[in-house]
Chains A and B, each alone.
Chain A
Amino acid sequence: MALEDYRSDMEMCCRCSICKFVPLEKLKEIQHSYVCPSIARYNFHTYAGGGRMGMGIAMLEKELEYDGKLLEVVYNCQMCGACDISCKYAMDMEVLEPINEIRIKCVEDGHTVPALDGVINSLRKQGTMVPGAKARRGEWAKGLDVKDITRQKAKVIYHAGCRVCYDEDMWRVAKATVTLLHKAGIDVGIAGENESCCGGRAYQMGYKEELLNQAKQNMELIKKSGAEILVTGCADCYCAFKVLYDKFGLKDDLEVLHTTEYLARLIKEGKLKPTKKVETKVTYHDPCHLGRLGEPYIHWEGKPVPGHIRIFGPPKEFRRGTYGIYEPPRDVLKSVPGLELVEMDRIKEYAWCCGAGGGVKETNPEFARWTARERIDEAESTGAEAIVTACPGCERNFKDTIKENGSSLKVYDVVELLEKAT
């Protein structure tokens, strides 16, 4: 697919602006009515999903030329998909796909931004999206006695992801995950030094080839290992393995689970028993790529029926975010004795992004922090003592923002709280 293939989706946009907001029926508070960080921060209509649809058409029609200003609009978007899901509350059209294609077109036409070039160079050379990473990829697992799936057979492979491997502060999440899996008697292994980036974030940035290369490399390693289930605690990796690899026909029959899905299953099966009290009041932040963008890919091949208005043969089923991973992380939290879970206004399909996605943390850290600040304020308004998430990208951005702007709010991964209780 290319941008041109989404022409009719883009032309279908009636500029109703619903892509900017939480749908009315789901809206709980006026100050939390925006769902798209980009339009909320930059205000010009072009920054909204609808504006980007218009921009895509204008690019195809060559009414807009590449320049720094165009790229500013293109890359000041977290690719969080909120516009797509809000739009699909009523409409049957793709929004995020053409937005992604705009980026792919920019990359193909050689119009990139230096900050992302650096990240992609790191991916090409070192297999990680963390430029200048010093720690060795598998160092987090030191002393854990976990299988190396390049040498030993294991049913489950745990993929830690770049953001965990190269951020010492995040190692505890990976360690806690493996510890809990061991406690539950799961035969788990890791690829250690041989683990490589999933490629998902590269795709969000417009580097499709890099995603495909990473996918092929990763799937070869996994196939060779004989693992049946891949578990990851990173929402971006989860979306890449489960959704993007499937989209491009590279997933095969690998079962992909987020750690919260797997842990919720193990709790239900009685293999994990959280008994220790963790007395705290928390609110849960749905990571975009685990929630609305984490729902399975739907393969469809068809075309518009001639003479009709946007009716497809065969009918097209749209991904509306409904089947994302929303309950498992909440189920895990609810299983923790003494823990009180309170909800924010914007949750599940309509959750506000943490701000780190789509390369924004790399290209425009101020925007990434601004977006996180909005979420932290929303979390604080619930009276919670902590914001809990299920993605190291979200956690890092929240922590960086709190460090810079201050807040008494603590930041946890779901896994950490479960480990405390188990």
Chain B
Amino acid sequence: MIEAVKSALVANLEKIVGSEFVSTNPADLYIYSYDLTPAEPNWPDVVVLPQSIEELQAIISLANKEKVPVTPYIAGGNVGGLTIPLKGGITLDLKRMNRIIEVSETDMYALVEPGVTFGQIKAYLDKHHPTLMYTYAFSPPSTGVMANAIVQGLDNLSFRYGAASHWVSGLEVLLATGELVRIGSGAASKSWQAIVPFPELDGLFLGWQGTTGVITKMAVSLWPKPKHSTALSFMAMDLDGAYAILQAVIRTRIPDDLIGTSFALNKVSQLAYEHKKMSMYPAVYRTQEEPEFVITAEITGNTENELKAKVEAVKEAVREKCKGIKMMGPDTMPSTTAAFPMQALGVLSSGGGLMWVGSYGPMSAWLETIKKGCELQDKYDITRSCYTRIMNEGHFAGLRWMLPYDKEDPELVKRINDLCAEQLDLILEMGYMPYKTPVWAVRKLEERVGPDWLKLHRRVKEMLDPNNIFNPGRWGMPRE
């Protein structure tokens, strides 16, 4: 950005939020220029921290008038380079907008601002609404509730309710023009309990990675908190067996959460609970006696009897439908329904780098995709590290291969990048779609979608963001 333009911009931003909340200090900007993935770094020109809607409106109006890029940012735990300002400009750090505005005990929703984290909403509900819960993401509790929903994240209730964007019952969005729009029941009433029989405009903002507007409020569904919980695990000796077990459990419709992990990844995580480390390098291959895949079903009940009956029903279903399949278990373990196991983070980000090709796709292609994805890991001599979460009672699945790596090892970084490129081609071929899509994967997707989809997509982006100020260079970017 030209220095004179930048000075004028900064002066105006300081007028809006006060100089304390605007920075061009390189020491402040640097940290906003990268994330833990290999995404190419890029510096913002200025970081600004608004607290009110009025301030935010003034910032966006200014940016739109001056055609300055704006990249929204919340907690900092970003992946896929989603908040790296590809075109510089303003990084809009929304952490000061962190109010839980309303919790409706009866209608079971919470209305939150962008800065509210999973940890904060849990603490708030535990204290003030102990019979309700939200969920937790597959990430630390410092993750933003809103960010997780915008990127269609998977959570610990996703088997029951689907991706986090499905739980959004209303939005308030700031458009590039400075207009503030409410979507959902909140558009026409005081209550935010549901998406109502209007055109579902939330789709103009969810999944767009902040490229169409700034979401300033979000209503999310809350759920009754059961008193009893347990985890039931099955260890399959091969992936065919794992698929059969998953299908058996899916059809019971019983669990709250149904996940599966490669055995090696599971072993690493179990050790991590004791603050012990097991390296995934050089590649760890399972012995013949060891299982291939660990499936865990989180089960809850209002009473001990209900819980017991549910556990028995799941066991029974697996017994019935998986006759002749070699497996270990089932074992019951304490449930992890309370929070993301932070200990796993010590393993997953141990070398400072973490990469994965994350995707959603059909259960019908799950087995073939996972087999081929794991074989690719073998090809690159990388420990099998598949992680899958069954979504929305088995209507689709989240699938990824977790790839922790040492940022300082260039050979390994290259190997990881090459593996990811091949895995991306694989999943696309199999009908799986990458989520939290980094730019390079967006471009690949754009090659696959129909040309009319692309035209529509770009038309929507242009209509909502004519000056292309919102997180430019990602979804809806005009072809250069």
| A144 is an interface residue with CB less than 8 A from chain B | no
| Distance of A261 from chain B, by nearest CB (Å) | 27
Contact between B30 and A55 (Cβ–Cβ < 8 Å)? yes
* Bound: A11/B351 CA distance, A: 7
* Bound: A11/B408 CA distance, A: 9
Selected from A16, A44, A58, the residue in CB contact (under 8 A) with B47 is: A44
| Distance of B247 from chain A, by nearest CB (Å) | 34
Chain A residues with CB below 8 A from B139, complex form: 16
Contact between A43 and B95 (Cβ–Cβ < 8 Å)? yes
Contact between B78 and A24 (Cβ–Cβ < 8 Å)? no
0/1 string, A4-30, CB within 8 A of B gives 1: 000010011111111011011101111
Contact between B277 and A310 (Cβ–Cβ < 8 Å)? yes
Most chain B CB within 10 A, of A28, A51, A308, is at A308
| Distance of A33 from chain B, by nearest CB (Å) | 5
| Distance of B48 from chain A, by nearest CB (Å) | 10
Chain B residues with CB below 8 A from A27, complex form: 119-120, 122-123
Selected from A14, A33, A44, A54, the residue in CB contact (under 8 A) with B123 is: A33
Contact between A46 and B77 (Cβ–Cβ < 8 Å)? no
Contact between A28 and B343 (Cβ–Cβ < 8 Å)? no
Selected from B75, B100, B354, B405, the residue in CB contact (under 8 A) with A17 is: B75
Chain B residues with CB below 8 A from A18, complex form: 140-142, 342, 345
Selected from A13, A17, A30, A72, the residue in CB contact (under 8 A) with B142 is: A17
0/1 string, B347-377, CB within 8 A of A gives 1: 0111110100000000000000000000000
| B407 is an interface residue with CB less than 8 A from chain A | yes
How many residues on chain A are close to B (CB under 8 Å)? 46
Contact between A45 and B31 (Cβ–Cβ < 8 Å)? yes
Chain B residues with CB below 8 A from A92, complex form: 275, 277, 346, 350
Contact between A73 and B349 (Cβ–Cβ < 8 Å)? no
Contact between A46 and B140 (Cβ–Cβ < 8 Å)? no
Contact between A64 and B346 (Cβ–Cβ < 8 Å)? no
Chain B residues with CB below 8 A from A1, complex form: none
Tell me which residues from 64 to 122 in chain B have a Cβ below 8 Å from any Cβ of chain A.
75-78, 93, 95-96, 100, 117-122
| B21 is an interface residue with CB less than 8 A from chain A | yes
Contact between A44 and B49 (Cβ–Cβ < 8 Å)? yes
| A323 is an interface residue with CB less than 8 A from chain B | no
| A70 is an interface residue with CB less than 8 A from chain B | yes
Contact between B122 and A24 (Cβ–Cβ < 8 Å)? yes
Chain A residues with CB below 8 A from B25, complex form: 44, 46, 69-70, 72-73
Contact between A15 and B35 (Cβ–Cβ < 8 Å)? yes
Selected from B77, B140, B349, the residue in CB contact (under 8 A) with A12 is: B349
A7 nearest CB neighbor, chain B only: B408
A92 nearest CB neighbor, chain B only: B346
0/1 string, B319-333, CB within 8 A of A gives 1: 000000000000000
| Distance of B229 from chain A, by nearest CB (Å) | 16
A69 nearest CB neighbor, chain B only: B25
Contact between A11 and B407 (Cβ–Cβ < 8 Å)? yes
Stretch in contact with the other chain, from B151-159, B218-226, B278-286, B445-453: B278-286
Chain B residues with CB below 8 A from A65, complex form: 26
Contact between B354 and A30 (Cβ–Cβ < 8 Å)? no
* Bound: A140/B377 CA distance, A: 71
Decide yes or no: A25 and B338 within 8 Å by CB, A17-B77, A43-B96, A46-B31 being known contacts. Answer: yes
| Distance of A28 from chain B, by nearest CB (Å) | 7
Contact between B140 and A8 (Cβ–Cβ < 8 Å)? no
0/1 string, B405-423, CB within 8 A of A gives 1: 1111000000000000000
| B23 is an interface residue with CB less than 8 A from chain A | yes
0/1 string, B18-48, CB within 8 A of A gives 1: 0001010111101110111000000000010
Chain A residues with CB below 8 A from B75, complex form: 17
* Bound: A309/B280 CA distance, A: 8
* Bound: A28/B119 CA distance, A: 10
| A270 is an interface residue with CB less than 8 A from chain B | no
* Bound: A63/B404 CA distance, A: 26
* Bound: A72/B19 CA distance, A: 15
Chain A residues with CB below 8 A from B141, complex form: 18, 21, 23-24
Most chain B CB within 10 A, of A23, A50, A310, is at A310
Selected from A17, A21, A30, A310, the residue in CB contact (under 8 A) with B350 is: A310
Enumerate chain A interface residues (CB-CB to B < 8 A): 8, 11-18, 20-21, 23-25, 27-30, 33, 43-46, 48, 50-51, 54-55, 58, 63-65, 69-70, 72-73, 89-92, 305, 307-311
- 16 cross-chain CB contacts under 8 A: A14-B36, A15-B77, A16-B140, A16-B345, A17-B140, A18-B140, A18-B342, A27-B120, A30-B127, A46-B28, A55-B27, A73-B25, A90-B346, A91-B345, A92-B350, A305-B279
Ordered nearest first, which 6 A-B pairs have the shortest CB separation? A14-B349, A90-B342, A17-B142, A11-B352, A69-B25, A24-B141
